Amino acid sequence: MIRSEVRILCLLLLLSCLSLLPYPGLFNPKPGPPQPRLHAPQRGIHVLLWHWPFSRSYSLKGDKCLSVYSISHCFLTDDADALPSVDVVVFHHQELSSGASALPLHRSAWQRWVWMSLEPPVNNANLRQLNGVFNWTMSYRRDADIPIPYGKTVPGVHRLSFQTATNRSYFACWLVSKYKPSQARASVYQSLKKDIPIEVFGKWKKNPLPDHMLLPTISNCLFYLAFENSEATDYISEKLWRNAFQSGAVPVVLGPSRATYEAVAPPHSFIHVSDFRSTAELATYLKHVAADRQVYEGYLQWHHTHTIRTLTDWRERLCHICVRYPSLLATKVYQDLEGWVHG
């Protein structure tokens, strides 16, 4: 009898405890309040470029963002004396890592500092010392706070600035200045040249092309080897956007994944090295494409529906900060910049 009463008492106690527990949904905390965004100052956004990339400067006189790029209320300066009053300060990584430039000793509380680089991770040295310094990133990467790709695809008709030859002089061409045998592109080239003729231009072969001759020369090539010097996330440089697309040659690409190229390039506009089990198989396919005019021109059909826009002026890139400004997190800090760059 006593045991039975004890059991009933224990059961009642258990039920009363369960009634005190929070609802199941409360075990999962609700999302916190949205991170604060920045509101553009009424006086406009003032951007200071702390040092020009590679010491090549351009004029910032007048309202460049408005007059050239139709971006209003965005003002650029390279005058270091303006540091105390600007909203954004941009630092190009190469000058910081080499010691050619140093970070300012003082920083206004409201300022946002931007780390900028168009180089792949392998070329961005001494990143660890910059952890915890920058609020935003400015890079070719699509997940950067301020994406500044080398080029982009837009709707329209793609018109070349010159007439391409009907019968092209070269089967495949490659422009390379800094050749390193350890790079993946060097290995692919050495193997591929055994099966197809490749005309090489650039400082490596002591056969440089003046800038005004680059596109007309490549336009005489059926294929252009748009081989990146580093296979890194989203790293697609002028080798594709300018050298290949703006010359009218069909690009053979080596770099990030096919999916990355498909996300940014015109449809059916390139041949990806990774689609083939060997360079011999790739060479066989290139010969097939070259021999069949209909198949070859299929890689150029995008000219009727899309065009390419290259971004080459640092001033345009800086103006783009103002476009992105209202959507950027006010309190963001890259505590592990090195990890992000190599991610």
Task: Provide DSSP, 230-242.
Answer: S--TT---HIIII
Shared domain for 53 and 98, answered yes or no, is: yes
pLDDT of residue 42: 72
pLDDT digits (tens, 9 = 90+) for 51-81: 999 999 999 999 999 999 999 999 999 999 9
**CA-based nearest residue to 257, from 239, 240, 241, 275:** 275
Q: Do 213 and 284 lie in a common domain?
A: yes
Residues 199, 255, single domain; the answer is: yes
Structural domain boundaries, residue 240? 153-310
Beta bridge partners of 250: 223
> Torsion angle, CA of 321/323/329/330, rounded to 10 degrees?
70
What confidence tier does 33 reach under pLDDT thresholds 50, 70, 90? very low
Same domain, residue pair 161 and 304: yes
Does residue 130 form part of some domain?
A: yes
d(CA 11, CA 85): 70
Tell me, yes or no, whether 157 and 300 share the same domain: yes
**Structure confidence by residue, pLDDT tens digits, 195-235:** 999 999 999 999 999 999 999 999 999 999 999 999 999 99
Residue 177 inside a domain? The answer is yes
Task: Give the neighbor-by-neighbor strand order of the sheet with 45-49.
Answer: 74-77, 45-49, 88-92, 112-117, 136-139, 146-147
Q: What is the mean pLDDT of residues 242-247?
A: 96
The CATH code of the domain that includes 177 is 3.40.50.11660
Does the residue 7 lie in any domain?
no
Q: How far apart are the first and last CA of the chain?
A: 69
**Do 296 and 323 lie in a common domain?**
no
Q: Are strands 74-77 and 45-49 parallel, antiparallel or unpaired?
A: parallel
For residue 37, being part of any structural domain is answered with: no
**Which pLDDT band, with edges at 50, 70 and 90, does 269 fall under?**
very high
What does the block give as tokens for 61? 């006189």
Residue 109 above 80 pLDDT? yes
Separation CA 231–CA 339 (nearest Å): 17
Among the listed residues 5, 95, 119, 297, the single catalytic one is 119
Q: Which two tokens stand for residue 198?
A: 């490749």
Instruction: Measure the CA–CA gap between 300 and 250, rounded to whole angstroms.
Output: 7
- Could you tell me the CA-to-CA distances from 5 to 10, 11, 12, 19, 233 in Å, in that order? 9, 10, 11, 21, 69
- 318 and 277 inside one domain: no
User: Is residue 21 situated within a structural domain?
Assistant: no
pLDDT number for residue 26: 24
Whole-angstrom distance, CA of residue 213 vs CA of residue 211? 5
Output the average pLDDT for the chain. 89
Tell me: do 136 and 217 sit in the same domain. no
Q: How many domains are there within the chain?
A: 2
Grouping H, G, I as helix, E, B as strand and the rest as coil, residue 145 is: coil
Dist. CA 302–CA 248, nearest whole Å:
11
Alpha-carbon distances of 83 from 38, 43, 58, 89, rounded to whole Å: 19, 16, 19, 8
Q: Is 115 strand, coil or helix?
A: strand
What local confidence, expressed as pLDDT, does residue 165 receive? 57
119 belongs to the catalytic site? yes
Q: What is the pLDDT of residue 167?
A: 78
Does residue 310 have a pLDDT over 50?
yes
Do 125 and 163 share a domain, yes or no?
no
Give residue 8's pLDDT band: very low, low, confident or very high (50, 70, 90): very low
CA distance 189 to 273: 11
17: in domain: no
Q: Is 4 exposed, middle or buried (0-12, 13-18, 19+ CB in 10 A)?
A: exposed
Helix/strand/coil for 291? helix
Token pair 């080459």 is at which residue?
Answer: 312
The set of residues, in sequence order, having a beta carbon less than 8 Å from that of 185 and lying 6+ positions away, is: 176, 225, 227, 228, 229, 254
- Token reading at 280: 């011999």
**What pLDDT sits at residue 1?**
45
Residue 211: inside a domain = yes
Residues 6+ apart with CB under 8 A from 29: none
Do 184 and 257 reside in the same domain of the chain? yes
In a domain, 10, yes or no: no
Residues 306 and 157 in one domain: yes
55: three-class secondary structure by DSSP: helix
- The residue-averaged pLDDT of 297-301 equals 95
Task: Give residues with Cβ within 8 angstroms of 165, minimum separation 6.
Answer: 219, 220
* Residue whose pair of structure tokens reads 């910081």 in the numeric block: 96
Average pLDDT for residues 145-174, to the nearest whole number?
87
Which residue, chain included where needed, has tokens 């400067």?
Answer: 57
Q: Is the pLDDT of residue 31 over 60?
A: no
pLDDT bucket at 341, cuts 50 / 70 / 90 = very high
- The pLDDT confidence band at residue 30, using thresholds 50, 70 and 90, is very low
Nearest by Cα to 117 from 153, 87, 147 = 147
Asked if residue 76 and residue 183 are part of one domain, the reply reads no
